[in-house]
């Protein structure tokens, strides 16, 4: 058995937050550049020019890419062979507290609307895995896009045809609000909350990467094509690129249901992963 | 080529702008978002508005803290739709323009048209670019709201698109 180094976890979380707040994910930057170069609509091109210039300026100067530095969402994979010498959630939140020192504090009590003052707590999902490492996937999730996300509990009779329709419709209804071109995470199956968790986790996929499941990969390509045909375009100004990617995860579900969660991310993916 | 526009916006300039045009805004504007609007409306209801926004431009934004060397941190627009319920009253009582991101309600479009106002769309997510446009910042009120306090900023060459013009033309409607 090995003792987990929770102070190292805190430090790594802090460093990751500062870094991803200022640096758009490289696969996302590349996808935006591609969208910019192929855009004919002048207003959308104007928006894409500013977005690309913004990503580069932020990275170069060490400024947050977007003022909504979000709420921290953390997926922990904790190795079964580890001994945890303290509260792993507090170790994550201390990293969040330190990492957000120079970032916007957007987290508050939902009822009183009183700000927690340090952007804690993070939303933390934990699972146990083989080995003696802690795997961390962390994302700073903005809420202009989070607010546009949807979950449906369909009848089996409605099936995947209805699911496809509703996924595209969710992005259509979100329109200009989530700072398109968006990135779409889809969770299929499980329960209400499992579908939502899957849709969030799907957003960690590298843009341009293929889904290892050929059936889901085909579905992702189909949905991306349908969404781009909506002509929402950059910032909702119209044009060719309404989404940079669609990523799907699935989990077995009950005979009575087909849960479908659609988690929308803006054009700026701020996520990373590491292990200690 | 983007049109250079000076703020506060005069009536004639407001009427000359067309939806879809790119602009570079220079001058002063108020900055506040959800909580600032909520509290301003409480003061209006009480008969004593906390700020005079007649002829002014309001930018829906809540900034990041300033980094060393910055006078304002990252400061891109937030979603305007959440301010829709306050908007018709504000244009009806003299507001000249708003800046935010995303589509507006039909009531807002009507109010903009009725009053010869303008709604500019800034580029959502471009926080670093917008912070580099800010040349001065003044705290006005509601400091306890933190990022949502009311501020007044001076900008130079702030990039935006005319999203709804004084004729009611709406960039989010023409596809």
Q: What is the arithmetic mean of pLDDT over B106-120? A: 97
- Judge if A224 and A237 occupy the same domain: yes
Residues A13 and A131 in one domain: yes
Per the structure, the count of domains in chain A is 2
Residues of chain A with pLDDT under 70: none
Give the pLDDT confidence of A24-75 residue by residue, as tens digits: 999 999 999 999 999 999 999 999 999 999 999 999 999 999 999 999 999 9
- Domain annotation covers residue A94: yes
Domain end position, chosen among A141, A174, A198: A141
Q: Check whether residue A168 and residue A100 sit in a common domain.
A: no
Domain holding A107: CATH number?
3.30.360
Q: Quick one: which of A76, A62, A73 has its CA closest to A21?
A: A62
Are A228 and A265 part of one and the same domain? yes
| Residue A99 resides in a domain | yes
Task: Give all domains of chain B, ordered by start, each with its CATH number.
Answer: 3-164 (3.20.130.10)
Q: What is the pLDDT of residue B69?
A: 83
Domain identity same for A86 and A136: yes
Q: Identify the pLDDT of residue A50.
A: 96
Same domain, A170 and A256: yes
| Domain of residue A88, residue span | 2-20+65-141
Whether residues A171 and A250 fall in one domain? yes
**pLDDT at res. B174:** 63
Question: Which residue of chain A has the CA closest to B77?
Answer: A67
Last residue of one domain, picked from the residues A141, A167, A189:
A141
Other C-beta atoms lying within 10 Å of the C-beta of residue A86: 12
The answer to whether residue A49 sits within a structural domain is no
According to the model, what pLDDT value does residue B9 have? 96
Question: 3-state SS of A14-55?
Answer: HHHHHHHHHCCCHHHHHHHHHHHHHCCCHHHHHHHHHHHHHH
A129 in the same domain as A160: no
Residues facing residue A245 across a β-bridge: A183
Q: A57 contacts in B (CB within 8 Å)?
A: 128-129, 132
- If asked whether residues A110 and A152 sit together in one domain, one would say no
Compute the mean pLDDT over every residue in chain B, rounded to the nearest whole number.
Answer: 95
Predicted TM-score of the model (pTM): 0.92
Residues A217 and A177 in one domain: yes
Task: Say if residue A126 is in the same domain as residue A253.
Answer: no
Is residue A40 situated within a structural domain? no
pLDDT at B173: 86
Q: Is A239 exposed, middle or buried (0-12, 13-18, 19+ CB in 10 A)?
A: buried
**How far apart are the C-alpha atoms of A267 and B124, rounded to whole Å?**
9
Q: Is the pLDDT of residue B2 over 90?
A: no
* Residue B173: Cβ within 10 Å count: 11
- Picking from A47, A115, A144, the nearest residue to B123 by CB comes out as A47
B149-171 pLDDT, tens digit each:
999 999 999 999 999 999 999 99
Q: pLDDT category, B68, cuts 50, 70, 90? A: confident
Which pLDDT score is estimated for A209? 97
Residue A36 lies in a domain: no
Residues A55 and B106: their CA atoms lie apart, in Å, by 33
> In A, what residues contact B, Cβ < 8 A?
42-43, 46-47, 50-51, 53-54, 57-58, 61-69, 102-106, 113, 115, 144, 147, 175-177, 179, 231, 235-238, 266-268
Cis peptide before A121 (omega within 30 of 0): yes
Last residue of a domain, one of A109, A141, A173: A141
Task: Identify whether A178 is part of a domain.
Answer: yes
Q: Is B121 on the interface with A (CB under 8 A)?
A: yes
Q: Does residue A152 sit in the same domain as residue A219? A: yes
Considering the domain boundaries, does residue A212 fall inside one? yes
The reply to whether B83 touches chain A by the CB within 8 Å rule is no
Each residue of A89-103: pLDDT tens digit?
999 999 999 999 999
Residue of A nearest to B171 (CA): A237
Mean pLDDT across B99-121: 97
Please indicate, yes or no, if residue A136 is contained in any of the structural domains: yes
């Amino acid at each position: 058995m090995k003792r987990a180094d929770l102070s190292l976890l805190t430090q790594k979380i802090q460093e990751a937050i500062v870094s991803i707040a200022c640096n758009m994910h490289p696969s996302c930057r590349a996808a935006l550049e591609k969208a910019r170069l192929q855009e004919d609509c002048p207003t959308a091109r104007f928006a894409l020019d500013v977005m690309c210039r913004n990503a580069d300026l932020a990275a170069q100067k060490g400024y947050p890419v977007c003022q909504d530095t979000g709420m921290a969402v953390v997926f922990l994979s904790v190795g079964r062979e580890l001994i945890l010498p303290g509260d792993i959630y507090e170790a994550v939140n201390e990293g969040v507290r330190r990492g957000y020192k120079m970032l916007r504090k957007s987290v508050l009590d939902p009822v009183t609307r009183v700000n927690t003052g340090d952007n804690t707590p993070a939303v933390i999902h934990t699972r146990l895995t083989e080995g003696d490492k802690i795997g961390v996937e962390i994302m700073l999730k903005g809420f202009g896009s989070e607010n546009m996300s949807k979950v449906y509990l369909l009848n089996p009779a409605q099936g995947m045809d209805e699911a496809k329709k509703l996924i595209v419709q969710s992005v259509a209804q979100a329109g200009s609000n989530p700072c398109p071109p968006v990135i779409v995470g889809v969770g299929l199956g499980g329960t209400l909350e499992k579908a939502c968790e899957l849709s969030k986790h799907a957003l960690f996929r590298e843009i341009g990467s293929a889904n290892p499941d050929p059936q889901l990969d085909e579905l992702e390509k189909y949905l991306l094509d349908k969404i781009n045909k909506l002509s929402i375009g950059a910032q909702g100004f119209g044009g060719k690129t309404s989404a940079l990617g669609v990523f799907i995860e699935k989990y077995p579900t009950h005979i009575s249901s087909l849960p479908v969660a659609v988690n929308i991310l803006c054009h700026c993916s701020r996520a990373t992963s590491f292990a200690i | 080529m983007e049109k250079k526009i000076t703020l506060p916006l005069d009536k004639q300039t407001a009427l000359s702008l067309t939806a879809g045009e790119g602009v570079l805004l220079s001058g002063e504007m108020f900055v506040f978002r959800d909580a600032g609007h909520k509290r301003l409306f409480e003061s209006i209801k009480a008969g004593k508005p906390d700020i005079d926004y007649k002829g002014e431009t309001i930018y829906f934004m809540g900034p990041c803290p300033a980094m060393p060397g910055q006078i304002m941190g990252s400061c891109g627009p937030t979603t305007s739709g959440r301010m829709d319920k306050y908007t018709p009253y504000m244009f009806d009582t003299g507001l000249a323009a708003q800046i935010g991101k995303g589509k507006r309600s039909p009531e807002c479009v009507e109010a903009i048209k009725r009053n010869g106002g303008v709604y500019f769309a800034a580029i959502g997510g471009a926080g670093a670019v917008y912070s580099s446009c800010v040349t001065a910042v003044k705290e006005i009120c509601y400091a306890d709201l933190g990022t949502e306090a009311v501020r007044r900023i001076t900008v130079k060459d702030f990039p935006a698109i005319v999203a709804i013009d004084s004729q009611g033309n709406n960039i989010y409607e023409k596809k």
